[in-house]
Homo-oligomer: A and B are copies of this chain.
Amino acid sequence: MIYLTRKIEFSASHYYWNPEFTPEENRRVFGKCANRHGHGHNYVLEVTVAGEPDPVTGMVLDMKELKQILEREVMEVFDHKFINQEVSQLDGKIPTSENIACIIWTLLEGKVPGGRLHHIRLYETPDLFVDYYGGNAAR
């Protein structure tokens, strides 16, 4: 079993706001992130696929095909978007890295050819990132 990882980057903006909180509570809990004009990040996403190398190609999966899937399922949804207003998959959720990672998993699961989606890592900044291995908390 080999784990193959591809890294991509997208630029998006977001803010944190829970409508059941008062404005003061939002500012206390979320700090600067509660600014409803939004602010942004260069998100870096690592997508890891597990599989056996195909003896004919030596590859776990076709990287060109993976790149197209990431373009269609992730980049078109998130890149150069204001997540709170333009990514309907996160409606009603606070667009933290935790929640974005879970949504990206859902967007990719079952679409990876020749392998199995194993892991995604999402960097919000170089100093803050989340890892997700799917619903089966197995690890």
Taking beta carbons and an 8 Å cutoff, which residues of A are in contact with B? Answer: 1-9, 11-14, 16, 18, 20, 29-33, 35, 37-42, 48, 53, 56-60, 62-64, 79-82, 85-86, 93-99, 101-102, 125-133, 137, 139
Contact = CB atoms under 8 A, between A and B. Distances in A.
A38 B129 CA distance: 23
Contact of A82 (B13, B53, B62, B127): B13
Q: Which 10 A-B pairs have the closest CB atoms?
A: A40-B40, A58-B94, A37-B82, A13-B13, A13-B40, A1-B137, A32-B80, A58-B96, A3-B131, A39-B80
B128 A63 contact: yes
Most B CB within 10 A of own CB, among A63, A64, A131: A131
Quickly give the copy total for this chain.
Answer: 6
A30 B80 CA distance: 12
Contact of A40 (B6, B30, B32, B41): B41
A108 to B, nearest CB: 16
Contacts of A11: 39-41, 125
